């Protein structure tokens, strides 16, 4: 099992002066006091990464402005994380709750 070093640790090792961070998927570039640093992920991209960009409008099948469990496709990432995202435990996910999930 390969483990990535946290960016914070890399910044600390490079003198702590990290600035101008840019994140593009599995690669992060930042400027350290010693020069540019690139960190590449060794983990494969999530197969369902696009699920995390979902909006209530996309998932809300009945148009009531919230998402209930029955409206979430079984293979969607939200299906297994519904209870986690529904922070007020009312069985409905709002735009604000979904935004916090991302």
- For the cut 50, the answer to whether the pLDDT of residue 94 exceeds it is yes
3-state secondary structure of 99: helix
Summarize the confidence of residues 2-11 as an average pLDDT. Answer: 49
On whether the CB atoms of residues 42 and 32 are closer than 8 A, the answer is: no
Comparison of pLDDT for 77 and 8, the residue scoring more: 77
Summarize the confidence of residues 83-95 as an average pLDDT. Answer: 96
pLDDT tens readout for residues 28-64 = 888 888 989 888 877 776 777 788 889 999 999 999 9
pLDDT tens readout for residues 46-56 = 777 788 889 99
3-state secondary structure of 63: coil
- Please report the sign of the dihedral spanned by the C-alpha atoms of residue 91, residue 54, residue 40, residue 30: negative
């Amino acid at each position: 099992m390969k483990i990535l070093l946290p960016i914070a640790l890399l910044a600390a090792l490079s003198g702590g002066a990290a600035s101008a961070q840019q994140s593009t998927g599995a690669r992060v570039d930042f400027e350290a006091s010693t020069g540019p640093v690139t960190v590449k992920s060794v983990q494969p991209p999530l197969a369902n990464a696009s699920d995390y960009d979902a909006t209530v409008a996309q998932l809300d099948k009945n148009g009531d402005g919230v998402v209930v469990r029955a409206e979430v496709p079984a293979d969607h990432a939200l299906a297994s994380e519904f209870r986690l995202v529904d922070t007020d435990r009312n069985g409905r996910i709002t735009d604000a709750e979904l935004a916090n999930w991302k």
